[in-house]
Amino acid sequence: MSHKVLLRLPAVDRPKADLTDPVEAGQGLDELISVCVDEVATWHALTAVCDKAKLLQLAIDEARARWELVEDRQDVEDIRRFARRWVLETQIRQEALRDLTDQVWAHGMRVGTDWAGEAIETADRLLTEGTELARRCHLDLGVPVPESLRAAPTTKQPKQAAATEASPGTKAPVTAPKASPTDVVTADSGA
């Protein structure tokens, strides 16, 4: 004999609301929302993402506050060293935030519901914002930006129609020439 756990949650629309709020508003138990355990696990994983995003912001604030102390103090090198340590802490916290976001994705993709999708979108937004803030903190305080905080290269693939041209007097398109790796000149190549 197998048993199935059914979860029913109140349709609450504000933080700290609970089952008593809709009941006191006159809603019956039949108006509760049915959810599965994996959906709840997805939202539970999102709480860890939210907590880590707050800790990331705290490290960013601490780094900036330490850096601002430089103007008011005589022990400038110590203050800058402590600020840099906090900047490095932002990387550690951002990487943990990324790992937690992956957990939200793992739970949410097992379920595939709109509600789980909302949790995934929220986690992605927090990760994107946190990554950008940590990157900006590194740049503003003169600390090299690690690979994990660099923006993913946006290589837009041209549509086939945009990459081809019709030769005059013909209907067949001619493929536009592509650059070879030897044609690319970088700032450090000496060219």
| Better pLDDT: 154 or 41 | 41
- The domains located in the chain, with CATH, are 36-149 (1.10.132)
Structure confidence by residue, pLDDT tens digits, 49-61:
999 999 999 999 9
pLDDT of residue 16: 75
Confidence class of residue 154 from pLDDT cuts 50, 70 and 90? Answer: low
pLDDT of residue 27: 78
Structure confidence by residue, pLDDT tens digits, 89-116:
999 999 999 999 999 999 999 998 999 9
- pTM reported for the whole predicted model: 0.71
pLDDT of residue 157: 53
Radius of gyration for the chain, computed over Cα atoms and rounded to the nearest angstrom = 26
Residue 137, C-beta contacts closer than 8 angstroms, at least 6 positions apart: 60, 63, 64, 87, 90, 143
